[in-house]
Amino acid sequence: MKWDEFFVTGDPMIYGADVSIVLTMVGILFYLTKYKKWKWLWDEWLTTVDHKKLGIMYIVSAVLMLFRGGVDALLMRTQLAVPEAKFLDSQHYNEIFTTHGTIMIIFMAMPFLIGLINVVVPLQIGARDVAYPYLNAVSFWTFFIGAMLFNISFVIGGSPSAGWTSYMPLASNELSPGPGQNYYLLGLQIAGIGTLLTGINFLVTILKMRAPGMTLFRMPMFTWSSLVTMVIIIFAFPILTVALALMTFDRLFGSHFFTLQGAGMDMLWANLFWLWGHPEVYIVILPAFGMFSEIISTFSRKTLFGYKAMIWSMLLIAGYSFLVWVHHFFTMGSGALVNSVFSITTMAIGIPTGVKIFNWLFTMYRGKIQFTTPMLWSLGFIVNFVIGGVTGVMLAMAAADYQYHNTYFLVSHFHYVLIAGTVFACFAGLIYWYPKMFGYKLNERIGKWVFWVFTIGFNVCFFPQYFLGLDGMPRRVYTYSEESGWGPLNMVSTIGGFMMGIAFLILVYNMYYSFRYAKRETTGDAWDGRTLEWSTPTAMPPFYNFAKIPEVTGLDHFWRQKQAGKVEKLKAEDIKPIHMPSNSGVPFIMASFFFVAGFGMVFDWMWMAIAGIIGVFATLFYRSFEYDDGYYVSVEEVIETEKISK
């Protein structure tokens, strides 16, 4: 292999990226060395098993990925702003829409939500930790390494270009030669391990680690949504694992699962992909629903309306999510009967979702609404998500879908549900729980600017795309002719896209500004909250979360205690030694071996792949022989941390 096959060459933008990557790396290494931060980095972050720190690392990674995926989006919108633009060539455009889709779903939306779940759920259920703290670190590092492996493709070897759905035979060796598609397969495979482990970890955590008195029907809605999400993960992710593995076999070892030679079946890929892919949509939307439930209830000063209806509707949605996958390919020859069945199941999802929308509205009805930034995002969600949902029902009509299929109408629909659902929730949840993570709120005034610029930009960007789609503009095209008449609306759409980019920059500025100037919280209850995570006396919960495990008597326990003026004060005699798990460097090292193995397979260098896999197993066995029962936090240290006066 020659150097110019290994490194991507020939495009000035890529050279720019190379230079900026090298400069950033040098800058980070210089900073860590100059300020002697290596030990701090290793002890505090790389080896941590604290769910709150892992959650923060998930969120930081997700924000970086939002930047990368966002830059991809803006490059696409720049290319499409005017007819017959020469900004990107067709191959480059294919690569960018592929990485945009994959990164936003797998490496941005899901990790962002899992990060918030990590930070919040153990606190909400009154637990000291998750069920498997060590495994939690393995989950994070395999996700992170998978993301990094996928991301380096654009400077080393070349990006995948077969779309985030990677339909065969387009993704085969013949039509997608080179390592690009392998990056997709291996990056997702490694990150998928982490997601499955998270699913098991949090399912057990929520089932087994709840504080005394917290029955299932006293759990906060965000915890409920996480529980349901974890069940979907556990049954959906193995399907992705298999699908990716089969395609890897096709590409690297000459099997014939999805190829046209050897009597393989390309539609099998489409079915397997969406059997995972459709539930995936609910993996990224249900936690969002949970967050909106918390935020709307908190800032309406009311208990969530229809708590049980909310739970049952969520369970129904989870069940349906496995029964609708064919609606992603109505036009690919399933026949009228199959299409009808999947058309009906798809529309049926609208019913429980409608139940939830009305419950949020009734929660606000006669509430004392506070228009904080998290609340604004939640209100924006309701309006915009309904637009996405209604157009979704339009798409669900199989016969009509023949008109919309693969047009910008579809593109607009799923951006309306995913951005207004998941991304709005990520912003809302981040701002809402920011004081729990960092001890101060983000600035509200700047936050409102972010909200308005982003929401207006979002609508300016995507609403015109419904009309472009109805007018026949296909998705995934890199350019279009003057005569098509799509120019003006595309220009409008691009302007909206850049407004969203500006809003992202304001958000980052807000983080910086608030870090410098925001008033520090003195109690743990920054928003006058309702659920247990707000009941810790210190602004940021200590590493052991609760000095004394709370006892729960009903829904919104903490809120009702506050109303009754009966919040218990911690007393020194209540404190007992707390058992905690030790930090471990093994997850980070194991993930590094995964990187070696993945990188070797991407380039079909089997010696390297085998070395990496041996490394993975070596770390597994090493860990098996390690008997570390953790340590106890002394009563004195707890009293010191909680500032209890004797």
Partner 1 sequence: MAHAETHDPNTPLEYRSETGRLNILGFWIFLGAEIALFATLFATYMVLSHRIADGPALGELFEVKSLLIQTFLLLTSSFTCGLAVHEMRRHNVKGLITWMAITLGLGLGFLYFEIQEFLHFIHEGANIGTSAAWSGFFVLVGTHGAHVTFGIFWVTMVLIQVAKRGLTPATSAKVFITSLYWHFLDVVWIFIFTAVYLMGMVTHNG
Q: Which residues bind partner 1 (CB under 8 A)?
A: 128-129, 131-132, 196, 199-201, 203-204, 207-208, 234-239, 241-243, 245-246, 249-250, 253-257, 261-265, 268, 272, 275, 579-581, 617, 621, 624-625, 627, 629-630
Residue corresponding to tokens 């939640």: 378
Shortest Cβ distance from residue 589 to partner 1 (Å)? 18
Rounded-to-integer distance, Cα 27 and Cα 349, Å: 49
Toward partner 1, which CB reaches closer, 54 or 410? 54
Q: Distance of CA 441 to CAs 230, 432, 455, Å?
A: 29, 8, 21
Toward partner 1, which CB reaches closer, 63 or 272? 272
Toward partner 1, which CB reaches closer, 242 or 477? 242
Rounded-to-integer distance, Cα 203 and Cα 538, Å: 28
Toward partner 1, which CB reaches closer, 341 or 549? 549
Which residues lie across from 326 on neighbouring strands? Answer: none
Toward partner 1, which CB reaches closer, 402 or 631? 631
Burial of 217 (0-12, 13-18, 19+ CB in 10 A): exposed
**Number of Cα atoms under 13 Å in the Cβ half of residue 346:** 26
Toward partner 1, which CB reaches closer, 243 or 304? 243
Shortest Cβ distance from residue 622 to partner 1 (Å)? 10
Shortest Cβ distance from residue 423 to partner 1 (Å)? 28
Toward partner 1, which CB reaches closer, 517 or 625? 625
Dihedral sign from CA coordinates of 392, 397, 398, 404: negative
Shortest Cβ distance from residue 59 to partner 1 (Å)? 25
Q: Which residues contact 489 (CB under 8 A, 6 or more apart)?
A: 464, 465, 467, 468
Shortest Cβ distance from residue 392 to partner 1 (Å)? 26
Toward partner 1, which CB reaches closer, 79 or 321? 321
Rounded-to-integer distance, Cα 539 and Cα 166, Å: 46
Shortest Cβ distance from residue 272 to partner 1 (Å)? 7
Toward partner 1, which CB reaches closer, 253 or 517? 253
Rounded-to-integer distance, Cα 581 and Cα 134, Å: 8
Q: How far is CA 497 from the centre of its chain?
A: 21
Toward partner 1, which CB reaches closer, 60 or 268? 268
Rounded-to-integer distance, Cα 346 and Cα 389, Å: 11
Shortest Cβ distance from residue 536 to partner 1 (Å)? 19
Toward partner 1, which CB reaches closer, 483 or 629? 629
Toward partner 1, which CB reaches closer, 177 or 262? 262
Shortest Cβ distance from residue 638 to partner 1 (Å)? 15
Shortest Cβ distance from residue 86 to partner 1 (Å)? 42
Q: Give the count of beta carbons closer than 10 Å to the beta carbon of residue 9.
A: 12
Toward partner 1, which CB reaches closer, 272 or 589? 272
Cβ pair 561, 586 in contact under 8 A = no
Which residues lie across from 632 on neighbouring strands? Answer: 579
Shortest Cβ distance from residue 196 to partner 1 (Å)? 6
Shortest Cβ distance from residue 452 to partner 1 (Å)? 43
Closest CA relative to residue 246, chosen from 238, 236, 255:
255
Shortest Cβ distance from residue 121 to partner 1 (Å)? 16
Shortest Cβ distance from residue 132 to partner 1 (Å)? 6
Q: Distance of CA 6 to CAs 63, 155, 330, 412, Å?
A: 28, 9, 40, 36
Toward partner 1, which CB reaches closer, 607 or 627? 627
DSSP string, 475-512: TT-S---GGG--HHHHHHHHHHHHHHHHHHHHHHHHHH
Helices (H), 209-304: 221-253, 266-300
Shortest Cβ distance from residue 244 to partner 1 (Å)? 11
Rounded-to-integer distance, Cα 618 and Cα 103, Å: 30
Cβ pair 251, 186 in contact under 8 A = no
Toward partner 1, which CB reaches closer, 250 or 525? 250
Q: Residue 630 is encoded by which pair of tokens?
A: 């953790």
Residue corresponding to tokens 């690297």: 252
Closest CA relative to residue 180, chosen from 99, 281, 73, 291:
99
Cβ pair 201, 194 in contact under 8 A = no
Q: 3-state class of 77 per DSSP?
A: helix
Q: Which residues contact 152 (CB under 8 A, 6 or more apart)?
A: 183
**Number of Cα atoms under 13 Å in the Cβ half of residue 71:** 9
Shortest Cβ distance from residue 581 to partner 1 (Å)? 8
Toward partner 1, which CB reaches closer, 129 or 521? 129
Sort residue 604 into left (φ over 0), alpha (ψ -120 to 50) or beta: left
Q: Please, what is the Cα angle at 621 between 45 and 146, to 5 degrees?
A: 50
Shortest Cβ distance from residue 506 to partner 1 (Å)? 41
Burial of 15 (0-12, 13-18, 19+ CB in 10 A): middle
